[in-house]
Amino acid sequence: MKKRALSILFVLVLALGLTTTALAAELPFKDVPSDAWYCQDVENAYNMGLINGRDETHFVPDANLTYGEAVKLAACMNQKALLGYVTEMDSGDPWYQPYIDYCREQGIISKDYPWDKNATRAGYVEIFAHALPEESFQARNDIPDGTIPDVSMSHPQAAEIYLFYRAGILTGNDAGGTFDPSSSIKRCQVAAILTRMFDEGSRKDVYLGAPAPDGDRRDEVAALAGYWETERPVDGDAYLFIEDDGSWSLYVWFEGDSQPVEQDRGTIVPSAGEPNAYYANSALDDSATYFRFTPAEENDVGSDLILWGANPGDDSIVFLREE
């Protein structure tokens, strides 16, 4: 690949989003790395009293959420929303029984679930959607009925799933916005969802079967198609491949590797009201990276460029379009 010298300072960040080294020190969990995409989400949920580890020092981020854990989270969220804090509940037999009782009393649940089993994605959404007041789920996205590919309006949890997409709490697993309602969900992914439920500023723009705000900007997304490459850093070469439909993959080629390694992939959507600004929604971890596009005629580099991450010089990557 052709190399170019950059006139813009950048820091190569392999994980999407900002690192949270300073914040991670506050967590007691040894298995939540400071550079993990979910680190700040885990800290947010932990500091709000919504989530704890499987023991005092282990969060077990890749473990699947159980229905017992889901009903406890729902009870804690409800208390946080109504009282501003979370109270300790007496231990029960089984341990999650007091949370079941609380959620029944509050009208959060109206049926039994297989409490010791892994929660399905549809199942946890059904519970979480009733844990906060109705006004907490104001729609920010126009998601017409029937446009989530694998969730028809006859699905038992369609109302709750569409509610979460329209509120920007869920974005889908791929470029088409599939939800995969019968699969399990990891505890680290749940931490990101909790953050979005309580922080409206962290919610996402989603476009499924409807034009983006401020008109149809799909042509803008298609104009990003191609290979985008960084100047080779000390320990690896990173590049993006973007397809016409907005699908993207982030690759890194480390010194000594025989081939590049895919770090992440997903779909690109425009950022509402911001020309040349976008979100790269991940299909792997339910996160999103904000980035900006600058055409060659508007910069001093002489090439189209993407600033991938946050603000210039602030833990972001500069990608140049490969001619």
What would the pLDDT profile of 136-155 be if each residue is shown by its tens digit? Answer: 999 988 888 888 888 889 99
- Rama region for 84: left / alpha / beta (φ>0; ψ in -120 to 50; rest): left
- Do 228 and 167 have their domain in common? no
The single-letter code of the amino acid at 203 is R
- Do 194 and 167 have their domain in common? yes
CA distance 68 to 287: 25
Q: Is residue 209 part of a domain?
A: no
Q: Is residue 188 part of a domain?
A: yes
At residue 10 the predicted structure's pLDDT band, cuts being 50, 70 and 90, is very low
- Do 43 and 150 have their domain in common? yes
Q: Is residue 35 part of a domain?
A: yes
CA distance 251 to 227: 11
Note the Cα 216 to chain centre separation in Å: 24
Per-residue confidence (pLDDT) for residue 212, from 0 to 100: 52
- The last residue of one of the domains, among 173, 202, 231, is 202
For 118-132, the pLDDT digits (tens) are: 999 999 999 999 999
Q: Find the domain containing 145 and state its range.
A: 21-202
Q: Is residue 256 part of a domain?
A: yes
- Do 32 and 135 have their domain in common? yes
Q: What percentage of the chain carries pLDDT values higher than 90?
A: 40
- Do 53 and 99 have their domain in common? yes
CA distance 182 to 156: 12
Residue 51 has pLDDT above 50, yes or no: yes
Per-residue confidence (pLDDT) for residue 125, from 0 to 100: 97
Helices and strands in the chain: count of H runs, count of E runs: 8, 8
Per-residue confidence (pLDDT) for residue 59, from 0 to 100: 94
Number of domains forming the structure of the chain: 2
Q: Is residue 2 part of a domain?
A: no
- The last residue of one of the domains, among 135, 169, 202, is 202
Contact 301, 320 (CB under 8 A): yes
CA distance 214 to 201: 19
Residue 254 has pLDDT above 80, yes or no: no
For 240-253, the pLDDT digits (tens) are: 999 887 888 988 87
HEC profile of 16-85: CCCCCHHHHCCCCCCCCCCCCCCHHHHHHHHHCCCCCCCECCECCCCCECEHHHHHHHHHHHHHHHHHCC
Q: Is residue 32 part of a domain?
A: yes
Q: Is residue 225 part of a domain?
A: yes
Is the pTM above the cut of 0.75? no
- Do 196 and 253 have their domain in common? no
At residue 222 the predicted structure's pLDDT band, cuts being 50, 70 and 90, is confident
Report the DSSP beta bridge partners of residue 248.
242, 266
Report the DSSP beta bridge partners of residue 268.
280
Question: E strands, 176-232, where?
Answer: 226-229
- Do 156 and 243 have their domain in common? no
- Do 270 and 174 have their domain in common? no
- Do 162 and 194 have their domain in common? yes
- The last residue of one of the domains, among 154, 172, 202, is 202
Residues counted in the chain: 323
- Do 137 and 85 have their domain in common? yes
Residue 18 has pLDDT above 70, yes or no: no
The single-letter code of the amino acid at 59 is F
CATH number of the domain that residue 254 is part of: 2.40.128.490
Q: Is residue 213 part of a domain?
A: no
Q: What percentage of the chain carries pLDDT values higher than 70?
A: 83
- Do 195 and 250 have their domain in common? no
- Do 136 and 177 have their domain in common? yes
What separation in angstroms does the CA of 172 have from each of 58, 202, 205?
28, 16, 11
